[in-house]
Structure 1
Amino acid sequence: MTFLLGLTGSIGMGKSTTSAMFRAAGIPVHDADQAVHDLYSGVAAAQIEAAFPGTTVDGVVDRAKLSAAVLGRPEALAKLEAIVHPLVRAEEQAFLVQCHRSGASAAVLDVPLLLETGGESRYDAVVVVTAPADVQRKRVLGRPGMTEEKFAAILARQMPDAEKRRRAHFLVDTSLGLVAAERQVRSILNAVAGRFGRVMRAD
């Protein structure tokens, strides 16, 4: 059986960097954000255009236009999620089937809103990527096109970092530098390969 690690963390915490570290260690990773990106230029585009007219260009979702259409509108966001989430879940299931067939000992599923959507029960352990609030803020506001309003709206959708840390089996603190983060990732994989993995499977 493949040991499933759910990887999550709030915006600006360094989740993509941590995900890349797992890949570099030879662990297969499914990236929910990348899956959404692919769907926006593929099978989801027509459905999104029908629900939110004017949000696609040449058959591809314009993320800025779509963001403007749902920002601060919970009902619109729920409509979008009803389109996208089942498609992402199907991609995830195909990934898991491949992992099982290949005999992968562990796999990582990178899911930004894993805890917010109550998805932690689908994984053997949850890894939360974290950093102090001031580090997070500096990183996020340094991104092109990011504003205080957008940052606040994103944070409003995300569970507080303290609560995520409380629910985690493992933490990766990216504020300590890349070397320290890599050390934490290796420690997680060692734990999964050892006693922790066997205990989780026995429960």
Structure 2
Amino acid sequence: MHAIYIICLKGPAFVEAVEVDEPTAGAESVVIDVHVAGVTFPEVAQSHGEYHLQRVLPFIPGTEVAGTVRSAPSDSGLRAWQRVAAFPGIGGYAATVAVPPTAAVFPLPDNVSFRAGAALPMNYLTMHFALVRRAHLKPGESVLMHGTAGGVGTAAVQLAAALDARVIAVVSEPGKLTAARAVGADEVVWLAASRTLCGS
């Protein structure tokens, strides 16, 4: 099958397209034919050898995917050909990935594209956990978000807005003001002094 290897730790420009055997799936694994794989912070960091989980070279990166189920355990609630998004944690940059039972695999509604689905697990589930389970965000409350132009920041603004909170976004550059408003921020603050305060 087609896959992408990280073959050295010189950055994303040095990944390599390869042909490898399909993954060996355990009886409890969900096997997914990958249509789209997300690009997240871990892949970039892994390509430089800077991620906290170190892998033996070469390896197939890819923490989040969207695709169709090839096979699944009978008690998983999933079926063959079903559209899903998943968080395999590793191995998603391949035509097929075997997702362990402890990973998040969830049905993808027909009105959500594979491209959008592949962007959900890392950023949106992280922020859902932070806002709903940790912060217990309620409608009408205000949220101050820093770093709203990146993937996690965008997800944070969108989810907080969807939860009917008032969102105040803080950006580091004037060019990011429009982006923060476009994803749902009620107010946007350009913290121009942040570079001086951080010593740069």
When normalised by structure 2's length, the TM-score is 0.28
Larger strand share, 1 or 2:
2
Which structure is higher in RCO with an 8 Å CA cutoff and minimum separation 6? 1
Flag the structure with larger Rg.
Answer: 2
When normalised by structure 1's length, the TM-score is 0.28
